[in-house]
Amino acid sequence: MHILVIGAGGMLGAKLLIRLCAEGILGDKKITRITRYDAIIPPPPPTSTFPIETFVGDLSATGEAEKLIAIKPDVIFHLAAIVSGEAEKDFEKGYRINLDATRILFEVIRKVGDGYKPKVIFTSSIAVFGAPFPEAIGDEFFTTPLTSYGTQKAIDELLLNDYSRRGFFDGVALRMPTVCVRPGKPNLAASGFFSNIIREPLAGKEAILPVSDTVRHWHVSPRAAVQFLIQTATLNTEKLGNRRTLTLPGLSCTVAEQIEALRKVAGEDAVKLIRRESDETIAKIVSGWPRNFAPQRALALGFRAESSFEDIIRVHIEDELTPRKR
């Protein structure tokens, strides 16, 4: 089995690679080759029993998708996107990367013909939803994005569904919860603080909390997010019928509950490193975000997220702060 990972250099792509290389199989099929693709040079790949090749390029550029699809990968993880803030700031770039590149990829797959019908797993986002919405958003709620990023993801979902219905590929679009705790350095994304207030104190560093304790949001650990990708790649998509977009499970919790979990896991000293410094701009952005979902379809298909924020913190400690045995 040959796997193509587009956006392999991102946080989720890199973690997916680690897991695929560690297991050597996807479902019951042996992995024979992985192709990594990203806009920037990704870190060296993990050790593997099969060849891993790496391409760097812009998927929206002429000939790029053709190059990747010419080798007819069996499974394609398409995780590449520019983030919400950048897509909002640079309108043309957002549409080029988040919409055109995806459509070009789909078109190139369609044009292969000859019975070629790969599995395509695409990461969408809860940004397809825009306030006002119910306290818990159900599977049949409409998409009214309030960002260009959310618009582009909602359009990609529609394209993926149509191309799958027409039989050009076997696609699934996954609306990921906000991944938390994100490893690495604090970033400037509006959602960054959800991870910062856990990751930094655990490392003995101060973190800024720009919103109120009562803010509620929808989270999943990086480990569960990778599990979602793997599980989707091996899912019998006949169960989805013509509705191939899934809102995934997550944990709905408040910032206060996040902090309480940090206290339980790491003690009062860690909590003291959280400095409250309200930021009206971030508070306003966050107030338009979904707080909770009722993802019945994904639950019925066996997808599971963490059930407590303490678990999410423990995953971070195990996967990021515990030395690996190799």
Question: With respect to a second copy, which residue has the nearer C-beta, 123 or 161?
Answer: 161
Q: How far is the CB of 78 from a second copy (least distance, A)?
A: 18
**Is 162 a residue that touches a second copy (CB under 8 A)?**
yes
Q: Mask 230-249, x = binds a second copy (CB under 8 A)? A: ------------xx------
Q: Number of C-alpha atoms within 13 angstroms, CB side, residue 37?
A: 24
User: Whose Cβ is closer to a second copy: residue 145's or residue 192's?
Assistant: 145
Interface pick for a second copy out of 24, 142, 278, 308 (rule CB under 8 A)? 142
Among all residues, which ones are annotated catalytic? Answer: 149
Q: Which amino acid is at 281?
A: T
Only segment of 64-72, 154-162, 190-198, 221-229 that touches a second copy (CB under 8 A): 154-162
Regarding 144 and contact with a second copy (CB under 8 A), the answer is yes
Give the gyration radius of the chain's Cα atoms: 19
Stretch that binds a second copy, among 11-19, 21-29, 162-170, 210-218 (CB under 8 A): 162-170
Select the span of 45-53, 66-74, 161-169, 274-282 touching a second copy (CB under 8 A). 161-169
Q: What is the distance between the alpha carbons of residues 133 and 110, in angstroms, rounded to a whole number?
A: 36
Q: Which of residues 180-219 bind a second copy (CB under 8 A)?
A: none
CA atoms of 164 and 170, how far apart (whole Å)? 5
Residue keyed to tokens 């379809």: 297
By beta-carbon proximity to a second copy, the closer residue of 186 and 288 is 288
CB atoms within 10 A of CB 326: 5
Position 105 contacts a second copy (CB under 8 A):
no
146 is a contact residue toward a second copy (CB under 8 A): yes
Cα–Cα dist 306/185, whole Å: 23
Based on the shown chain and the rule CB under 8 A, indicate whether residue 284 belongs to the binding site for a second copy.
no
CB 221, CB 315: distance < 8 Å:
yes
Nearer to a second copy, 90 or 257 (CB): 90
User: Which member of 98, 123, 148, 231 binds a second copy (CB under 8 A)?
Assistant: 148
Decide: is 91 part of the binding site for a second copy (CB under 8 A).
Answer: yes
Residue 222 CB neighbour total at 10 angstroms: 23
User: Residue 96 or residue 316: which is nearer to a second copy going by CB?
Assistant: 96
Backbone φ/ψ region at 113: left (φ over 0), alpha (ψ -120 to 50), beta: left
Provide the minimum distance between the beta carbon of 289 and a second copy in the complex, in angstroms, as a whole number.
15
| Binding flag, residue 155, a second copy (CB under 8 A) | yes
How many other β-carbons are positioned within 10 Å of the β-carbon of residue 54?
16
Find where tokens 């797959």 sit: 109
The correct pick among 73, 118, 145, 192 for binding a second copy (CB under 8 A) is: 145
* Pick 37 or 149: Cβ nearer a second copy: 149
Contact residues for 312 (Cβ-Cβ < 8 A; gap 6+): 180, 181, 219, 220, 221, 251, 261, 306
> Which two structure tokens, joined as six digits, stand for 179?
């991944």
What 3-state class would DSSP assign to 165?
A: helix
Nearest alpha-carbon partner for 160 in 128, 127, 124: 124
3-class SS letters over 216-283: EEEEECHHHHHHHHHHHHCCCHHHHCCCCEEECCCEEEEHHHHHHHHHHHHCHHHHCCEEECCCHHHH
**Size of interface with a second copy, in residues (CB under 8 A):** 23
Residues that bind a second copy in the complex, under the rule CB under 8 A:
91, 110, 130, 139-146, 148, 151, 154-155, 158-159, 161-162, 165-166, 242-243
